[in-house]
Amino acid sequence: MDLVNHLEGRLLFAVPKKGRLLQAALNILEGADIQFRRENRLDIALVKNLPIALIFLPAADIPTFVGEGRVDLGITGYDQVQEHDAGTRALARARRMSNEWDPSRAAGKPQGCETVLDLGFGSCRLQVQVPAKGSYVEGKDLIGKNIGTSFVHLAREYFARLELEKEGITDPAAAEGRKLRTKIIELSGSVEAACALGVADGIVDLVESGETMKAAGLKAIDTVVETSAILIKSKAPSNPELVELIASRIRGVITAQRFVLCQYNVPRAKLAEATAVTPGKRAATVTALDEEGWVAVSAMVETKRIAPVMDELVKVGAEDILVLDIHNTRSS
């Protein structure tokens, strides 16, 4: 089937085609009941139960497709959106410098993407890293040096800011035309090897566990961006109601993943103490028990806090404590 000719009337939703965000993104789609079958090697999949087509793209390209309004929704890293936006600013600056016409200012579809919600996975930091045994201790020590990175626009903005600070330049007009002294070297992967191989004095790269950086003999000296996966939408989506429906479903999946349902019985005399431990999202649900003087409580608790919460409940005198996974949820 020629899928490209079946996109008419469908909301286009970009999903990372590989890498760290792929599996978690697919889990979100499944939780939101977005049903599809992706044919081998095809980057487009039609959703069976909704007028949506999924477009599988590199995470780094998704902000471009969504920002230009070619695709309505996307899942990617906040770092990728920031890098794309920094690239757009650089292009606009270059055009201003050469007095060239800037198409993004032309009337028509509004450009750029908007963050709909944080998806709560893919958390890491874009950091400035240097040899652990070297003499660099802060970002400005790298001014004028060679920097290896895949995030060239963010790295340029970071060092441009440091250079302006160092030189005491505050006039925006003087800043605009200034040439960067620091040399930004674009690398597409294995950036951590650049220092050891003499290509760079420092790097700007993502750090999650810190294992890669440690193994490469590097240490972080500054953070450029804290990132996690986000849902983004175009500023002019083709079907805003469907965008809102999908966002609401995904919000429900995320909330369900973040919380568990905690149920327990507690003497009525201890109810206030117990609900102080489990106040719930809005309020705890309290129901009478057949047994005189006891009540049953159920409340949503953040998954990462559940162990200490259970410890506290036992201390308060709660009994029969149960913790249940939440499959899905919908709330405002």
Ligand X SMILES: O=P(O)(O)OC[C@H]1O[C@H](OP(=O)(O)OP(=O)(O)O)[C@H](O)[C@@H]1O
Ligand Y SMILES: Nc1ncnc2c1ncn2[C@@H]1O[C@H](COP(=O)(O)OP(=O)(O)OP(=O)(O)O)[C@@H](O)[C@H]1O
Site for ligand Y, rule CB under 6 A: 18-21, 58-59, 77, 79-80, 122, 124, 189, 206, 208, 227
Min dist CB 125 to ligand X, Å, is 9
Min dist CB 80 to ligand X, Å, is 13
CA–chain centroid gap for 318, Å, is 38
Beta-sheet strand order (sheet of 294-302):
285-288, 294-302, 259-267, 319-325
- Residue nearest ligand Y (C-beta atom): 77
Examine residue 211 and tell whether it contacts ligand X (CB under 6 A): yes
Give the three-state DSSP class for 328: coil
Q: Which amino acid is at 253?
A: V
Contact at 8 Å (CB) between 318 and 270? yes
Cα(81)–Cα(63) distance, integer angstroms: 5
Min dist CB 190 to ligand X, Å, is 5
Q: Which amino acid is at 165?
A: E
Min dist CB 205 to ligand Y, Å, is 8
Examine residue 206 and tell whether it contacts ligand X (CB under 6 A): yes
DSSP-assigned states of every residue in 184-248 = EEE-SS-GGGTTTTTS-SEEEEEESSSHHHHHTTEEEEEEEEEE-EEEEEESS-S-HHHHHHHHH
Examine residue 126 and tell whether it contacts ligand X (CB under 6 A): no
Neighbour count for residue 219 (Cβ, 10 Å): 17
Contact at 8 Å (CB) between 72 and 233? yes
Residue 190 binds which entry of ligand X, ligand Y, none, with Cβ cut-offs from 5 to 8 Å by kind? ligand X
Residue 120 binds which entry of ligand Y, ligand X, none, with Cβ cut-offs from 5 to 8 Å by kind? none
Residue 21 binds which entry of ligand Y, ligand X, none, with Cβ cut-offs from 5 to 8 Å by kind? ligand Y
Residue 77 binds which entry of ligand X, ligand Y, none, with Cβ cut-offs from 5 to 8 Å by kind? ligand Y
Task: Find the binder of ligand X among 119, 205, 243, 246 (CB under 6 A).
Answer: 205
Residue 192 binds which entry of ligand X, ligand Y, none, with Cβ cut-offs from 5 to 8 Å by kind? ligand X
CA-derived radius of gyration, the chain: 25
| Helices 22-31, 240-258: crossing angle, 10 deg rounding | 100
Neighbour count for residue 66 (Cβ, 10 Å): 29
**Closest to ligand X by CB, 100 or 208:** 208
Min dist CB 81 to ligand X, Å, is 17
Residue 157 binds which entry of ligand Y, ligand X, none, with Cβ cut-offs from 5 to 8 Å by kind? none
Which string of x and - marks every residue 163-202 that binds ligand X (by CB under 6 A)? --------------------------xxxx----------
Residue 205 binds which entry of ligand Y, ligand X, none, with Cβ cut-offs from 5 to 8 Å by kind? ligand X
Examine residue 332 and tell whether it contacts ligand X (CB under 6 A): no
Q: Which residues bind ligand X (CB under 6 A)?
A: 189-192, 205-213
